[in-house]
Amino acid sequence: MGPQNIDVLEERFGIRFKNRELIKIALTHSSAGLGISNERLEFLGDSVLQLVVSRHLYRRAPSLDEGELTKLRARFVNKNTLAQVALRAHLDDLLTLGDSLKKPGEAPQLSILADAYEALIGAIYLDRGMKMAQRFVRFTLLREVSNIKFERDFKSELQEKVIKTFRCYPNYRLLKADGPQHAKRFRVEVKVNGRGFGIGEGRSRKEAEKEAAKKALLSWKSLKGRQQGR
Overall pTM > 0.85 = no
The answer to whether the CB of 61 falls within 8 A of the CB of 150 is yes
178 forms beta bridges with 185
Q: Domains in the chain, start-ordered, CATH in brackets?
A: 3-145 (1.10.1520.10), 154-228 (3.30.160.20)
- Tell me how far apart the alpha carbons of residues 118 and 121 are, in angstroms, rounded to a whole number: 5
217: closest CA among 175, 174, 170, 176? 170
Active site residue 65: no
**Catalytic: which of 42, 115, 118, 189?**
118
**Catalytic: which of 42, 46, 157, 211?**
46
Residue 99: count other Cβ atoms within 10 Å of its Cβ.
8
Q: What is the pLDDT of residues 14-40, one digit of tens each?
A: 999 999 999 999 999 999 888 999 999
Strand ranges in the chain using DSSP code E only, listed in sequence order: 171-178, 185-192, 195-202
Active site residue 118: yes
Q: What is the pLDDT of residues 82-129, one digit of tens each?
A: 999 999 888 988 899 988 777 665 667 889 999 999 999 999 999 999
Q: Which amino acid is at 183?
A: A
